[in-house]
Amino acid sequence: MPTRRAFGALAIAALPLRRATANSDASLGALLARYVIEPPDGVTRVRYAALKASAQDMRALDAWIAEAATRSPSSMARPEAFAYWANLYNALTLKVVLERYPVRSIRDIRSSGVPLDPKAYIGPWRTRLVTVEGKRMSLDDIEHGTMRPLFRDARVHYAVNCASIGCPNLLPRIWRAETLEAELNAAAAAYINHPRGVTVLPDGRLRISSIYTWFREDFGGSEPGVIAHFRQFAAPALSQRLAGRTSIAEDAYDWALNDAPVGS
């Protein structure tokens, strides 16, 4: 049986790795704070042009991705693993857009390396971008192959950002295990209470984000289930307007790039 001294030695040996991870995450956090802005309309945007113009910050983004790829999320506690995958997804999405910027929409960027995949023509989500624990992964592998089945939490959809106006916000900070629950709930509330998440039309019908149609199984599996999810996070004004509603009229999604205006 390992002695107390042995456990202490292992803990001390792990300190440099934890410090390196913290320093690396701080660098990504600094990039997000510098280049993600929060306009009055409630939709965060990215100063892609300014970030692409900074060779130093582009290297910092690449360095964070390279360092993150050396970690072992399978050995992490659930909140830490959730934060890890969400941060990796968002950092990779930034890199993909920046490599092709300027673009009008992320959907203008095709996937590569998967010539027989029809989904390769509608966005970059099938390109294998990073190797984690020996597995070569795409953005779809992270979101749909890892996060959704592993965590079984609808709030995954509020944590990953697809570089589009219609998407839940990219935060100007990284996801952290210590604040994960509160931040996820806040992100869900921010999206649901914004018109691009849920809109009650003048005639009382509901228009919702297409996210809730594409991934209905994650939100209760039915229209009443989706509406019940809304009620969990609805502010009083929206909650009152949702009362008695059990059906949805239509859905919509804005694929325009979440690009900040020049000079912002």
pLDDT of residue 264: 85
pLDDT digits (tens, 9 = 90+) for 40-53: 999 999 999 999 99
pLDDT of residue 10: 46
Query: Does a structural domain hold residue 51?
Result: yes
Query: Does a structural domain hold residue 79?
Result: yes
> Cα–Cα distance between 236 and 220 in angstroms, integer?
22
What are the tokens at 232? 């969990």
Neighbour count for residue 112 (Cβ, 10 Å):
12
Query: Does a structural domain hold residue 264?
Result: no
Query: Does a structural domain hold residue 27?
Result: yes
Neighbour count for residue 38 (Cβ, 10 Å):
12
pLDDT digits (tens, 9 = 90+) for 80-94: 999 999 999 999 999
Task: Examine the pLDDT at 208 and tell me if it is beyond 70.
Answer: yes
Query: Does a structural domain hold residue 91?
Result: yes
Identify which of 92, 95, 37 has the alpha carbon closest to the alpha carbon of residue 262.
37
For a pLDDT cut of 90, what percent of the chain falls above it?
88
> Could you give the number of structural domains in the chain?
1
pTM as predicted: 0.92
Give strand pairing partners of 250.
Answer: 207
Query: Does a structural domain hold residue 4?
Result: no
Task: Examine the pLDDT at 9 and tell me if it is beyond 90.
Answer: no
Query: Does a structural domain hold residue 187?
Result: yes
pLDDT digits (tens, 9 = 90+) for 102-132: 999 999 999 999 989 999 999 999 999 999 9
CA distance to 148, 210, 223, per residue, from 232 (Å) = 20, 19, 15
Query: Does a structural domain hold residue 3?
Result: no
- Residue 232's domain comprises 10-252
Task: Examine the pLDDT at 230 and tell me if it is beyond 70.
Answer: yes
